[in-house]
Amino acid sequence: MKKAFRLVSVLLIVALAVALFTGCSSSTSTPEKKAEKRVIKVGIGLNEQSPQYKGLQKFKEIVERESKGRIEVQLFANSQLGDDTKMMTALRAGTLEMTCPSTAPISGLDKKWMVFDLPFLFPNEEIADKVLDGPIGQKFLDSLSQNGIKGIAFWENGYRQLTNSVKEVKTPDDVKGLKIRTMENPVHLAAFRALGANPTPMPFGELFTSLQQRIIDGQENPVTTIYLQKFYEVQKYATLTNHFYSPFVLMFSKKIWDTLPKEDQDIILKAGKEAGLYQRKINREMMKESLANLEKTGMVVTKLTPEQQKAFMDATKDVATKFEAEIGKELIQEVKAEIAKYAK
Ligand code: TK8
């Protein structure tokens, strides 16, 4: 009896030791097998109704699905994490993973980006897609690495339209003397000066209040932004000038990017491009809807005749020449030739 008891105890101790040992060894190997959860924060200036935010929701969905929940994407709208320039600085410092500014403020880092902000550059969105998704666009995305940024993909802000609270604008003459907010971009400032306006750069987050307080008379943004950000509450007149086409650039902090495993980089790159195609599609659909909605608000929406449109083109045609030295004459020619190739 005593013997049997001793045998059972020995067996129990052995079993316990084995369990403890395997338990311990499996718990020490767990952290290597299960990679830690990664959080990617993305900040933008527009609100949650914007096509840009919807594109980011799609990006989040793809990344979280493809990484099987290992990567979590957190979205921050309404300049909560700062304006476009501040967010780009955070990317370069490695304190924020992602943002998606218009190309205009990127010129603060690298002047050649101003080429995309030349007035009346892209004749239509399909041509913009081809140029930006082609070798020229890729060259621009890659060159961001010199400034601590990994360029992921071109998305779309879109054709910009002019609004103001003073008068209906049909000719460049009507723009004379109007105080217009522009993005922080020398080409945009020069184009509005060429139209005789009094342009002043300002971060997007301060725009609504400045219009409301009549610190400025007008601003310019795509129709969807004018509608969704409720600019019609503080602006009486809109003119469909299509003066600039604003691409968006989805970008990542290079400092953080370089620490990511290749597998995660691939997931993010692929998701960024795929979500971009979706974002462009809904951006174009929402633009039509927003235009109809804007007219219902009682805002005076002026469509230009081809002759009136041409007057705006003529008034700003020397802007490109003025920036030849800063952008590079050859680069302007290269982009224009590529556009002409697709315009045929
Ligand atoms: C939002 C901006 C905005 C842009 C502007 O972050 O500043 O007017 O058109 O949409 O990127």
CATH number, position 273: 3.40.190.170
Strand partners of residue 158: 246
The ligand 1 atom nearest the CA atom of 160? 9
Give the separation between CA 28 and CA 46, rounded to whole angstroms: 45
Closest-lying ligand 1 atom to the alpha carbon of residue 248: 11
- pLDDT value at position 2? 54
CB burial class (10 A; 0-12, 13-18, 19+) of residue 192?
Answer: buried
What angle do the packed helices 135-143 and 329-343 form, to 10 degrees?
Answer: 150
Instruction: Name the residue range of residue 275's domain.
Output: 37-343
Ligand 1 atom having least distance to the Cα of 222: 9
Q: How many CB atoms lie within 10 A of CB 19?
A: 10
User: Which pTM was predicted?
Assistant: 0.89
Handedness of CA 289, 293, 295, 301 (dihedral sign): negative
Residue reference for tokens 């929406």? 301
Instruction: Return the closest-CA partner of residue 333 out of 321, 315, 316.
Output: 321
Q: What is the pLDDT of residue 187?
A: 98
| Residue 157 located in a structural domain | yes
Distance CA 337, CA 326 (A): 19
Residue 331 lies in a domain: yes
Could you give the CA distance from residue 158 to residue 321 in angstroms, rounded to a whole number?
24
Asked if residue 23 is part of any domain, the answer here is: no
Contact 237/165 with Cβ under 8 angstroms?
yes
What is the model's pLDDT at position 344?
81
Q: Is the CB of 186 inside a 6 Å radius of any atom of ligand 1?
A: no
pLDDT score for 36: 81
236 in a structural domain: yes
* Beta pairing partners, 302: 239
Which residues in the chain belong to E strands, given as ranges?
A: 38-43, 71-76, 98-99, 149-159, 161-164, 179-182, 198-201, 218-221, 237-240, 245-253, 300-303
pLDDT at 18: 53
Question: Does residue 136's CB lie within 6 angstroms of at least one atom of ligand 1?
Answer: no
Between 329-343 and 125-133, two packed helices, what is the crossing angle to 10 degrees?
120
Hey, what are 115's tokens?
């080429």
Q: State if residue 174 touches ligand 1 by the CB under 6 angstroms criterion.
A: no
CB 191 within 8 A of CB 69: no
**2 in a domain, yes or no?**
no
φ, ψ for residue 176 (rounded to 5)? -50, 125
Domains identified in the chain, total number:
1
Q: Ligand 1 pocket, 204 CB below 6 A?
A: yes
Strand partners, 99: 43, 251
Q: Is 18 within the bounds of a domain? A: no
Q: Is the CB of 158 under 6 A from ligand 1?
A: no
pLDDT mean for each 10 residues of the chain (344 residues): 57 54 45 74 98 98 98 98 98 98 98 98 98 98 98 98 98 98 97 98 96 98 98 98 98 98 98 98 98 96 97 97 97 98 91
What single DSSP character describes residue 330? H
Q: Name the nearest CA neighbour of 129 among 314, 344, 339.
A: 339
Please give the single-letter amino acid code of residue 136: I
Count Cβ atoms below 10 Å from residue 181 Cβ, excluding itself: 23
By most ligand atoms within 8 Å of CB, the mutation choice from 49, 86, 157 for ligand 1 is 157
Supply the angle between the helices 51-66 and 262-296 in degrees, to the nearest 10: 150
Interatomic CA distance for residues 129 and 74, integer angstroms: 27
Q: What is the DSSP letter of 185?
A: -
Residue 43 placed within a domain? yes
Q: Is residue 13 part of a domain?
A: no
Phi/psi of residue 240, nearest 5 degrees: -85, 80
